[in-house]
Amino acid sequence: RNNGVEVPIVNLEIFDYDNNIPLQENYIFDKSVCYAGNLNKAAFLKEYEPDFKLTLFGPNFSPALMSKYIEYKGSLPPDELA
């Protein structure tokens, strides 16, 4: 909340694999979001109005989405996304 977040944040605990990388205790909130998934199914990307940087991971990226606010990092296995 002290970084400008004004809505509830909920941990969905939906991931089906264990990640052994320790959590960072202190981090800088840079108003960016990382999204990983099948980008064909991410309809919100076509309507994205940049308020913050969006980093994308996953298959089926459309180069037409590239902008200074969207960065595509490729498609990686889940254990390499951490």
Q: What is the pLDDT of residue 15?
A: 66
**Rounded CA separation 22/44 (Å):** 31
8 Å CB contact between 78 and 34: no
Q: What is the pLDDT of residue 75?
A: 94
pLDDT digits (tens, 9 = 90+) for 26-73: 777 788 888 999 999 998 888 888 888 999 999 999 998 888 889 999
Per-residue pLDDT, averaged over 8-19, amounts to: 75
**Whether pTM exceeds 0.85:** no
Between 1 and 74, name the one with better pLDDT: 74
Q: Token pair for residue 57?
A: 């991971």
